[in-house]
Amino acid sequence: MNLDEIIENFNYLDEWEDRYRYLIELGRTLEPLDEAAHNDQNKVLGCASQVWLETNVGADASGAPVLNLKGDSDAHIVRGLVALILALYSGQTASKIIDTDAQELFKSLGLSAHLTPQRTNGVRSMVERIKNDARAAAAVA
């Protein structure tokens, strides 16, 4: 599902319980992460739940590095947050990832005010991990 669809669906829901259920549904749409990718190298540090992010770097037609991301978590809502973050960043160029502020998306959806401090820190850790991967890909290009 693309980011615009997610935002539209999210904004359609008035109640926070419905929005949390939608996050859980988003998590169920994640492409499965290979069991071998559930490793220490892909594990995101700073998350209360277990989160794994796998980054594969390709290139667009101009040769700019593009990050293709997969992710997983052992917690249902966190899987949904992973799906939201992947919708924002996966398939984007490294420079766009570096310049894109995930906090703006979370504020616009009202998630910033409804996530626990632990989940907020976990989201920050996931975003920083992706941005670090983007910086590394941009440095090699």
Active-site annotation, residues: 47
CA atoms within 13 A on the CB side of 50: 8
The percent of the chain in helix, strand and coil, each rounded to the nearest 5, is: 55, 15, 30
The rounded distance, in Å, linking the Cα atoms of 110 and 73 is: 22
Integer-rounded Cα radius of gyration of the chain: 15
